[in-house]
């Protein structure tokens, strides 16, 4: 598809709506509000993907490298019929003649945590006749970038919580936290690109992921090499169809066959196809010798019910249900008590819960395990679309707004501040400078052009070319 069609329809008329003599439009991308309690900084991530995949690859292959008459006539056909007019496409022809996007993007480094209301990057046209292009690109940029920023921020919050509880209950095992949050979201996202972008955001904070295309995406867009570094990883794991195929009457036989099929390494077995409690109290005791003699860990995976109660136990007349998965595994397989006084399961056995996990439930699971005397690292959490798909651009109030224009050679500081709004939609004004003070990023608006150049913004894309090409490891290091 011609990428110039990847826009909101109302953008089509904006070129003639700007004041006559407009030659420059300067806009910024900013998270304006947090709707997640306790999160006041947002991770900047995804711009390099957008630049490589859309501003370079798709604009070249689907527009600039196509015959001019073909792409312009196609564009005109759709716009004419959409608006019901004879649309003037001379500006589209001129862009094709130019042969590249006359846009400069200046940004902070990806992986930086940015306080709410602080801009992450700015766009400006580099040729006066293409002033209209800056905000024409808003729709495309917004639709791509809000999700990787949002998922990376949420993943970082999970990482903070899991790290905090690991420090409190099992500080000798901190390296395990990178595997404690596992991405289970792909099947529940709004599409494959959505799943990849969100999964890439998750993988900035965690190594565990079942979103396999993230590995390829990181090689393609962020210079990773899966043969030389850990990008994402996972383990052998069953699904319900496997357990059902083995039959309810011989579920223990399925467990036994799986243990023989995978004599080494981590094996995750979904265990609530029928009766989780029977698996824990009847089957596993009978398989104990085989599990303990195996060179690896068997991970029990329940996927239904209230995650907190299933893992940690709850008030219940049934003493088995009251104990929960971790305590039942401890009763059968034991383990050790670490120097901090918390119980750590036998390394031959473990648990993962992968359904309906949220930040709040993750916190409750860790807290209740701690209260029961168990280390938080006894469980892995499968973080799925219940976390990553239940978000919108408004989760962090992302918006791209113009704050400076030049008309007939005169600079104008512009802004919006709706009287009917609570202040969320109030924009910056004029040119923007980012600076760091007390290890926190701040911004000043209404600065001079020289002051803007002296700030933290760096040119990453200009006139169709990528200037900064970062590696996944750099971004992870910056975020850690």
Confidence of residue 399 (pLDDT cuts 50, 70, 90): very high
Query: Are residues 459 and 105 in contact, defined by beta-carbon separation less than 8 angstroms?
Result: yes
Is pLDDT at 468 greater than 90 in this prediction?
A: yes
| Among the ranges given (145-154, 331-340, 368-377, 414-423), the one the predictor scored with the smallest mean pLDDT | 414-423
Find residue 379's DSSP bridge partners: 351
Domains of the chain (ranges, CATH numbers): 3-136+399-479 (3.20.140.10), 149-234+302-388 (3.20.20.70)
| Among the ranges given (323-327, 375-379, 425-429), the one the predictor scored with the smallest mean pLDDT | 425-429
Which tens digits make up the pLDDT trace of 237-293?
A: 999 999 999 999 999 999 999 999 999 999 999 999 999 999 999 999 999 999 999
Confidence of residue 423 (pLDDT cuts 50, 70, 90): confident
Find residue 30's DSSP bridge partners: 399
Contacts of 246 (CB under 8 A, 6+ apart): 253, 254, 257
pLDDT score, position 56 = 98
What value does the mean pLDDT take over residues 292-316? 96
Q: In the block, which residue shows the tokens 């312009």?
A: 72
By the 10 Å C-beta count (0-12 exposed, 13-18 middle, 19+ buried), 48 is classed as: buried
Q: Order of strands across the sheet with 410-413?
A: 410-413, 398-407, 22-31, 121-125, 103-107, 458-462, 465-466
pTM, rounded to two decimals: 0.96
Q: Tell me which residue of 436, 433, 438, 428 sits closest to 449, measured CA to CA.
A: 433
Which tens digits make up the pLDDT trace of 47-80?
A: 999 999 999 999 999 999 999 999 999 999 999 9
What value does the mean pLDDT take over residues 165-184? 97
Confidence of residue 36 (pLDDT cuts 50, 70, 90): very high
Is pLDDT at 328 greater than 90 in this prediction?
A: yes
């Amino acid at each position: 598809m011609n990428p110039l069609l990847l826009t909101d329809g109302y953008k089509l008329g904006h070129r003639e709506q700007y004041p006559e003599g407009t030659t420059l439009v300067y806009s910024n991308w900013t998270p304006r509000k947090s709707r997640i309690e306790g999160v006041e900084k947002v991770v900047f991530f995804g711009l390099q993907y957008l630049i490589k995949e859309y501003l370079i690859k798709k604009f070249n292959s689907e527009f600039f490298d196509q015959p001019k008459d073909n792409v312009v006539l196609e564009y005109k056909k759709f716009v004419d019929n959409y608006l019901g007019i004879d649309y003037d496409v001379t500006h589209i022809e001129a862009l094709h003649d130019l042969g590249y996007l006359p846009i400069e993007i200046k940004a902070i480094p990806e992986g930086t945590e940015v306080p709410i209301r602080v801009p992450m990057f700015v766009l400006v046209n580099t040729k006066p006749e293409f002033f209209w292009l800056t905000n024409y690109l808003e729709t495309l940029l917004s639709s791509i970038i809000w999700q990787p920023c949002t998922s990376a921020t949420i993943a970082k919050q999970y990482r903070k919580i899991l790290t905090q509880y690991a420090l409190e209950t099992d500080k000798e095992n901190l390296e395990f936290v990178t595997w404690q949050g596992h991405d289970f979201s792909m099947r529940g996202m709004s599409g494959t690109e959505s799943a990849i972008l969100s999964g890439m955001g998750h993988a900035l904070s965690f190594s565990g992921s079942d979103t396999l295309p993230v590995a390829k995406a990181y090689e393609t867009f962020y210079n990773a090499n899966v043969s030389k570094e850990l990008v994402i990883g996972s383990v052998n794991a069953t699904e319900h169809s496997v357990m059902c195929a083995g039959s309810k009457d011989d579920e223990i036989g399925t467990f036994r066959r799986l243990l023989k099929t995978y004599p080494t390494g981590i094996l995750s077995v979904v265990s609530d196809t029928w009766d989780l409690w029977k698996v824990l109290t009847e089957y596993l005791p009978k398989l104990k010798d085989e599990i303990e003699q195996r060179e690896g860990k068997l991970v029990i995976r329940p996927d239904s019910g209230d995650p907190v109660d299933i893992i940690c136990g709850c008030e219940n007349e049934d003493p088995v249900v009251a104990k929960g998965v971790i305590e039942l595994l401890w009763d059968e397989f034991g383990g050790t008590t670490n120097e901090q006084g918390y119980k750590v399961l036998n390394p031959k056995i473990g648990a993962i819960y992968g359904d309906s996990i949220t930040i709040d439930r993750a916190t409750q699971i860790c807290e209740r395990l701690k209260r029961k005397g168990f280390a938080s690292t006894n469980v892995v959490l499968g973080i799925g679309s219940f976390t990553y798909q239940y978000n919108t651009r408004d989760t962090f109030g992302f918006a791209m707004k113009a704050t400076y224009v030049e008309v007939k050679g005169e600079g104008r500081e512009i802004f919006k501040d709706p009287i009917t709004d609570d202040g969320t939609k109030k924009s910056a004004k004029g040119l923007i400078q980012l600076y760091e003070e007390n290890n926190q990023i701040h911004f000043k608006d209404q600065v001079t052009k020289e002051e803007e150049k002296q700030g933290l913004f760096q040119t990453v894309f200009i006139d169709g070319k990528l200037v900064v090409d970062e590696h996944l490891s750099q971004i992870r290091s910056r975020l850690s």
